[in-house]
Amino acid sequence: MLMSASIVFMLGVLHLAYTFWGTKLTPRDPALQISMTQVPLVISKETTMWRCWVGFNASHSMGLILFGLVFGYLVLANDQFLFRSPILLGAGAAMLIGLAVVSKLYFFRVPFTGISISLACYVTSVALCFRAWYHASS
């Protein structure tokens, strides 16, 4: 579980760094970025496509970081609470499955691979925990 949380946390930190520093999340065509900075959205003239792009990337990163911090903290501070909470385990699994689907459909190989490894670690940790409880109760 700690490995799963750490992978997601690191992906979030890396994505946040790429959002605000460097050119990794900018269009290859400079004219497109210029156009994105000048064109407002249909929903509101108060912002541009570029500002939303940066905001979406930043908030996406913050969500990944939060997931990593919460699940990492819980497994270190109170693993019994985490592994005995169907709501937390279900929410974590749903988040990782959702991230895997989104990264497969809309991103590229590296985020999909990272999230898939994280999901595999997550599922393995839950399965091992349930297996240990089953054998302890038998």
Structure tokens at 98: 């959702």
Mean pLDDT of 70-86: 95
* Type of residue at 71: F
pLDDT at residue 137 in the model: 67
pLDDT at residue 131 in the model: 77
Give residue-wise pLDDT tens across range 4-26: 999 999 999 999 999 999 999 99
* Type of residue at 72: G
Residue spans per domain, the chain: 2-137
Mean pLDDT of 106-112: 92
d(CA 92, CA 69): 12
d(CA 129, CA 127): 5
pLDDT at residue 135 in the model: 67
Give residue-wise pLDDT tens across range 26-74: 999 999 999 999 999 999 999 999 999 999 999 999 999 999 999 999 9
pLDDT at residue 119 in the model: 97
pLDDT of residue 97 exceeding 90: yes
DSSP letters, 44-73, are: -TTSBHHHHHHHHHHHHHHHHHHHHHHHHH
